[in-house]
Structure 1
Amino acid sequence: MHPNATTATEREIKLINTIRPILSAEVYEALIMFLTYTSLFSTILGILSNVFVIIVYTKIGFSEAINISYLALGISDLSLSATRFWGTVCYAFVVTETNVPFDPLGITVTTSFFPGQGFEKATAFITAFIALERCLCVQFPLHVKRIVTKKKTVTSIVTIFLFAFIPSNFIHIVFPLKWVFIPAQNRTILAMVPLQTPLRYIIQRALLAYYGTVLHFIALFAVWIFTIFLAVGLKRTAEIRKENFQPSKAKQIKQKEDRVIKTVFLLSLTYFICSIPTAVTLLVPHFEPEFETSRGLARISSFSHLLSALMVVMNSNANLFIFIYMGSKFRETLVRLFVKKYP
C-alpha cells in the first residue's frame, strides 16, 4: 500500500473517532430535521421580505443610482430564496421519506443547487458593487454624479447577473432530466440522468470550481477591500466637505451620506458573517480531503453544507431589516404601503 494512503486512512479513522461521540446517529438526525425545517422557514421569509424590498424601492423611485443597486439586490435575493425553497422542499421529501413522482435529491442539482449558486454569487457581487459604488462616492465626492450614473449602474448589474447566473445553466447539458421507469417500484419518475461522457466531468468540475472557489472568494475579498477603502475615505471626505460647503449644508450632506454608508457597512458585515460557514466548508477539504471523500465523515459534511445553505438564505433575509433600520424613506414608504391597503 502506498504510504500516503496509509497515512490518509489513519487520519480518517482519527477524525471519525473524534466526531462520532459528538455527532451520533440520533443527534445527526435531529440536527438535519432542525436545519431542514429552519431552512424552509427562512426561504419563505426570504421570499416575502425581498418582495417587500422590490415593491418599496420601485415606489421610492430611482432618482439615485444606489436605489437601482438595492433593487437588484432584492431581485437576486428573491430568486435565491425561491430556488433554495424548492431545494429545501425536495430535501424535506427525502427526510420524511415521501413518495413523489420525481427523484428529490437528483432533481435539485439542476433545478435548485446550481441556479441557487448563480443567484448566490450575483448577490455577493452586487453587495461588492454597492460597496465599490459608495467607496467611489467617498473618494471622489466632487465628481460623484459623473462617476456613478444610472446607466453605468444598470450596465454593471446586468453584467453581474450574466457572468454569475448564465454559466449555471450549463449543468442542464450534462445532467438532463428525463422520465425513468423504476421496475422495483413499478412507476415512472422524473430523474436526473447524467451523460456518460468525459464532457460531463469537465463541465461539472469547472462549474464547481467556478462557483465554489473562484467567484466565492473573489466576491468575499472584494466586499471587504471596498468596505475598508470606504472607511479610510470617510475622513478625507469630511475635510473636503468643510472646504466646499457651508456648515449647515455640510451637516445635511453628512447625515445623508452617513445613513447610506452605515447601510453598506451592515450589508457587508452581514454578508461576511453569513459567508463564513461556506468559506470553511470550501476550505476544509483542501487540508482534510477525507472531509468530502470519506463515507465515515458523511454526517459532518452533510451538516456543514446544510448549515452553509441556511446562512446564505439568512443573509438574503437580513436586507429588509437593514433597510428598515437605516432608511427613513424606506420605512415611511413601507408604512404607507400597509396603511393604504389596510386602513
Structure 2
Amino acid sequence: MYLHSTKVDNTTRYPALDQMTDNSLHLWEDHSKSSSMLTLANGFLNDEQFSIIVLFMIYASQIINIFAIIANSFNIAVFVKLGFSEPSNISLTALAVCDFTLAVLYTWSNLCFWLTYHNVRLPFHGTNVSYLTGNAQFPFLSTTVAWITAFISFERCLCILVPLKVRRLITPRGTFLAMLIIILLTFCPSFFTYIRYKFVWEFNPYRNVTILNTVSVNSELAILFENISIVICGVIQPLLAFSIVLICTVLLVVQLRKISSWRMSVTSAKSQQVKPEENPAASSSAAETRISQKEERLVRMVVAIATIFIVSYIPTCIGLLCYVVFDEYNLFGVYRRFYIVSGYVITLGQPISGSLNILIYYKMASKFRIVFLRLVRLDRQEQERHELE
C-alpha cells in the first residue's frame, strides 16, 4: 500500500489510510523504501506472525488495563477518604489519577483497533481517530507519571536527609502546586497535537458513507510545535525523570540500610536499660523510635513504588533511544513492524506498574488497608465490635 498525499486547504490528506482493508494490520506501509531494507525488516516478522503478535498484545493489554482501571479507582477513593492533610496523599492521588487516565486511553485505543480488525463498521476511522484521541497522549501522560514518581521519591529523600526541615519544605499546598506544575509542563503540551492534526468529516467511497477522520495540517508552525513538544516532553523529560527516580531510589535504599543498622544498635542498648515507666527519658526515646519506624515504612513503600516504576519504564527508555538513534524506527519507517510490536510491549509496562501500586499500599500502609476494607465492606465484624466497645 503506497502512502500518497494530497494537499487541500493547506492540509495533507492520506487517502491510502481509508483504503485499508478492515482486518489489515499493515497500516501506513511505505514501499518507497529500499526493497532490500524492507525484506530485512519484514523477514523477522512475516504477515501472519505480525498479526498474531499484535492481536495477542492487544488482548493482554486490555486485560491489564481493565485491572488497572479498577485498582486505581479504589486508590483514588481511598486517598479521598483519608484526606489531603498529608502531602504524600496528594502526590499519591495524582499518581493514581494519571495511571487511571492512561489505562482508560489504552483501553479505548485497543478497543478501536480490535473493532476495526473484526470488520465492525464504525462511524469514524478507527485507527486515525483513536490515535488522535488516545495514542497521541500516551507519551505525554506517561511523562507526567514519571515526574510525579520522581517528586515522590525526592520528597522521601528529603524526609531522610533533612528530617527537621522537611515539614517546612514539603507542605500540602506546596505539593498541590507541584502536581499542577508537573501536569502543565508534561501533559498539557500534548494539546499541540491538535494544531498538527484535526478532525474532519469526509466521504469514504469504499463504504459509501461519511465518517469522522483526521487530516494533517501541513504548515511549518504546526510541524515546529509538534517536533518541539515531542523532543522535550517525549524524550528529554522522560529520561530526566527516570534518572531522578533511579538516583533517589538508590539514596533511599542506602539510607534505609543505615537506619536499620542504627535501630538494631539502639534496640540492643535499650534491652539492657531499666523499664520505660522507671525512666521517662527511655519512654520518650521509645516514642521517637516508633515514629521513626512509621517513617521507615513509608520510605519502604516509596522504594517499592519507585522500583516497580524503574523496571516497567526501562523498555520505554530503550524505545525512546531507538527512536532518536534510528531514523527508520517509526510508524512510517522501514522498521515500522518492530516499532508497533515494541510499542505494545512498552505500553504494557505502565498499566502493570499502575496495577501493582494498590498491592503495595495495602501491604505497607495500615491506614490505606483499613479504609480499603471499609470501602469494600470486608470489615463489618470489626466495625460492629468497635461500635459495641
User: Alpha-carbon deviations, 1:37-71, whole Å to 9, x = none?
Assistant: 11112222111111100100111122321111111
1:137 pairs with 2:175:
no
Greater mean deviation of Cα atoms: 278-287 or 313-322 = 278-287
Q: Match for 1:297: what amino acid?
A: Y
Unaligned 5+ runs, structure 2:
1-32, 267-280, 382-389
Give the structure with higher Rg (CA): 2
Shift of 1:13: 6.8
Distance in 2 separating the partners of 1:214 and 1:95: 35
Unaligned 5+ runs, structure 1:
1-7
Q: CA RMSD in A?
A: 2.7
1:279 pairs with 2:287:
no
Question: For residue 328 of structure 2, what is the aligned residue in structure 1?
Answer: 290
Question: For residue 322 of structure 1, what is the aligned residue in structure 2?
Answer: 360
- Of all paired residues, the percent bearing the same amino acid is 28
Shift of 1:295: 5.5
Question: For residue 133 of structure 2, what is the aligned residue in structure 1?
Answer: 111
Distance in 2 separating the partners of 1:293 and 1:326: 42
User: Alpha-carbon deviations, 1:161-216, whole Å to 9, x = none?
Assistant: 11111111111122111111112321111111111222232222222212321121
TM-score by length of 2: 0.78
Which residues in structure 2 correspond to 1:1-80 (within 5 Å)?
Answer: 12=37, 15-16=40-41, 20-21=43-44, 23-80=45-102
Go from structure 1 to structure 2 and tell me whether the alpha carbon gap of 1:342 and 1:12 turns closer, same or farther (over 3 Å shift): farther
Question: For residue 237 of structure 2, what is the aligned residue in structure 1?
Answer: 215
Shift of 1:340: 7.2
Distance in 1 separating the partners of 2:207 and 2:39: 40
Shift of 1:15: 4.9
Shift of 1:126: 0.7
Q: Match for 2:343: what amino acid?
A: H
The answer on whether the counterparts of 1:167 and 1:207 sit within 8 Å (CA) in structure 2 is: yes
Distance in 1 separating the partners of 2:234 and 2:117: 25
TM-score by length of 1: 0.87
Of residues 298, 309, 319 in structure 1, which corresponds to 2:347? 309
Question: For residue 249 of structure 1, what is the aligned residue in structure 2?
Answer: 287
User: Alpha-carbon deviations, 1:191-247, whole Å to 9, x = none?
Assistant: 1111122223222222221232112101111111222233344466676997x9944
1:334 pairs with 2:372:
yes
User: Alpha-carbon deviations, 1:8-35, whole Å to 9, x = none?
Assistant: 969947953xx735x3332221111111
Aligned residue-pair number:
332
The answer on whether the counterparts of 2:249 and 2:307 sit within 8 Å (CA) in structure 1 is: no
Shift of 1:290: 3.4
- 1:193 match: secondary structure: strand
Q: Match for 2:368: what amino acid?
A: F
Distance in 1 separating the partners of 2:75 and 2:362: 10
User: Alpha-carbon deviations, 1:239-258, whole Å to 9, x = none?
Assistant: 6997x994412331222112
Shift of 1:157: 0.8
